[in-house]
Amino acid sequence: MRHARNLPAATLAVCRAAALLPLSATLGCMRAPSFNVLGSYFPGWIACIAAAILLTVALRSILNRTGVEDRLPLLPIFYFSCTLLIACVIWLLAFE
């Protein structure tokens, strides 16, 4: 049987990451951020997505007026990526 000091560094790193994997699964059990709106609780991610969609619509109008939108390839993928990026930034700023 080989001792840990004889294992390659990459193997040790994988073993350590595998040992910490069950701990990371418990982080999802924390209470999700929510907003009280007229007595109902809405998850924070819905607010982030709604704000991101509104900001992406504003971004689209700016890009359309300046003529940049005509030069962008794959517009649906571009705007989906923008929405996702904006939603993640809002989440990080508001909840982290």
Please give the full DSSP string across 8-44, using - where no structure is assigned. -HHHHHHHHHHHHHHHHHGGGGSPPPEEEETTEEEEH
Q: Which residues pair with 37 in a beta bridge?
A: 40
Rounded to an integer, what distance in angstroms lies between the CA atom of residue 35 and that of residue 52? 17
Residue type, 26: T
Write the pLDDT tens digit of every residue in 55-92.
Answer: 999 999 999 999 998 898 899 999 999 999 999 999 99
pLDDT confidence bin for 41, thresholds 50/70/90? confident
Is 70 exceeded by the pLDDT of residue 26? no
- 62 CB neighbour count, 10 Å cutoff: 11
